[in-house]
Amino acid sequence: MSKNTRVPGYMQSKAARNTRGIIGDREIRFKCSLQNTILDVLRGRPGWQEVPGPNIQQQNSQQNNKPAAGSQTSTQPQDGKGTKTGYQPVPPIQRNSDGDWDFYWCDREWLHQNYDTMFLHEHQKILHFRNHYELTRKNLMVKNLKRLKKQTEREQGKSEGLSFDFHPTTYELPSEYHIFVEEFKRNPGITWIMKPAAKSQGKGIFLFRRLKDITDWKKGEYQPLTDTTREVPETYVVQRYIENPYLIGGRKFDIRIYVLVVSYNPLKVWLYRDGFARFSNTRFSLDSIEDAYVHLTNVSVQKNAPDYDPEKGCKWSTMRLRQYLTAKHGSEAVKKVFKGIDNIITKGLQSVQKIIINDKHCFEMYGYDILLDSDLKPWLIEINASPSLTASGKEDYELKFGLLNDLLNVLDLENRLTGKEKRIGGWDLLWDDGPVLADDGNMECTTNGTSVTTANSFLGCHNDRKRQLREIYTSAQAIKKT
Ligand SMILES: Nc1ncnc2c1ncn2[C@@H]1O[C@H](COP(=O)(O)OP(=O)(O)O)[C@@H](O)[C@H]1O
Ligand SMILES: [Mg+2]
């Protein structure tokens, strides 16, 4: 790890080194299933020691049999830039040895196989909640959102339900095929998108306008339920395609947002102020609905485009995007956009709050995919439980390195903070059993003269994380001394 990627103020001072962590005066032992930025972060963290994880073969077979949506658990650096580690395969270890680590960045497959038989010690922290797929499978996410919307309408009235109108109309196939057909007939000529519920990276996705296209698909993909040699048909979602995406330079993009949940009960949520917009490489047009390079903004799709330039990449930082939108539309309009995104983040999590098996040992870092339309309305496309941590270039590596280091700062296994912080590096506390308000000027005057509270949300704002970390570590140290 290079010098300048170290987090200043982190375990550097003598006093800090002498800090007694919750684990005691010994090194924190970590395991990690991935070999990208997260491994670099963990290996570079002072006082942390690696214990062997599952071997490469195990990981590869897990990759090919992904159980849930949204994952990009890469075991190989995709571009040679993303990782600096020359990680060697290690022999398989006994899977249920649960006492030999303090922190485990595991893959979802491992968790599914082991969680139910595993005893977790007081100090242990592990990535993923047991049934994270309630939010990260495309069909279940929509089902849970629809349910909370109905409940809200029942309890608080129809108008409150409107705050849930941020995901495009969606049906699960094959189970809701007939309802979908009715909807399809009510809206002739519009475009729909078909997506496998549990795949990621744009795999298996296609757009269509004629029912015939889907009947062909139906025949090909999940024909004979009576055919016992075939497995149950793969679940898809069919979703209204957003035909008017906001375009920059004629290109479509979506926004990747990082959200950290450290507890579901009470719900405690952090929002990372950095992220990025992922652009498609080809100008947007509705004439070529079969062209994935036009319509799917996944980096894994775009990097295969014939004219893709790896130097230029296809990303803008969220800060650059926010600045661009502010210059074009003014800060009030942009504030509204980002407020809408905060609403999407919290509603999404609330929709599964009672369903997720809460466990104080678990945490989750979600990658939200948000698309803006030409009216600047944000739409929720999906939520990933394993957002890609493989860097696509230097800037991307720095973003992910800071993101992950600050995630460890939030979890604070070393017990160096007070637990009362509302900002830790690039993470801002968005929800703590209720909305968290910004410290500075809790009330803000709107253009029509009414006062509104401002949330502790700074997505796309300046991320001076290193300076901020220095400050909070110094102040926490002073508080702890007294
Ligand atoms: N309803 C939609 N309208 C417009 N574009 C969409 C829609 N759904 C998906 N997309 C595009 O397709 C991409 C992949 O879809 P997504 O649901 O995120 O699946 P995956 O899990 O394969 O990433 C998105 O990043 C977005 O660019
Ligand atoms: Mg996606």
Q: How far apart are CA 2 and CA 134, in angstroms?
A: 39
Predicted TM-score (pTM) of the model is 0.86
Q: In angstroms, what is the span from residue 296 Cα to ligand 1's centroid? A: 6
Give the pLDDT of residue 449. Answer: 52
Give the pLDDT of residue 214. Answer: 85
Of 293, 381, 383, 386, which is best to mutate to test ligand 1, by the most ligand atoms within 8 angstroms of its C-beta? Answer: 381
Closest Cα partner for 272 from 469, 454, 407? 407
Helix (H, G, I), strand (E, B) or coil at 118: coil
Q: In angstroms, what is the span from residue 324 Cα to ligand 1's centroid? A: 23
Give the pLDDT of residue 6. Answer: 37
Kind plus residue range of the DSSP H or E element containing 402: helix 394-411
Of 72, 136, 255, 298, which is best to mutate to test ligand 1, by the most ligand atoms within 8 angstroms of its C-beta? Answer: 298
Contact of 426 with 403, CB cutoff 8 Å: yes
Residue 243's identity, in one-letter code, is E
169 lines ligand 1 (CB under 6 A): no
Give the pLDDT of residue 231. Answer: 57
70 lines ligand 1 (CB under 6 A): yes
204 lines ligand 1 (CB under 6 A): no
Instruction: Please identify, by atom number, the ligand 1 atom nearest to the C-alpha of residue 70.
Output: 21
69 lines ligand 1 (CB under 6 A): yes
pLDDT in tens, the chain (482 residues): 333 333 333 333 333 444 444 565 679 999 999 999 999 999 999 999 999 755 433 443 333 333 333 333 333 322 222 333 333 333 333 334 456 899 999 999 999 999 999 899 988 999 999 999 999 999 999 999 999 999 999 999 999 999 999 999 999 999 999 999 999 999 999 999 999 999 999 999 999 999 998 887 777 655 444 445 555 678 999 999 999 999 999 999 999 999 999 999 999 999 999 999 999 999 999 999 999 999 999 999 999 998 888 777 789 999 999 999 999 999 999 999 999 999 999 999 999 999 999 999 999 999 999 999 999 999 999 999 999 999 988 999 999 999 999 999 999 999 999 999 999 999 999 999 999 999 864 445 444 555 556 899 999 999 999 999 999 999 999 998 87
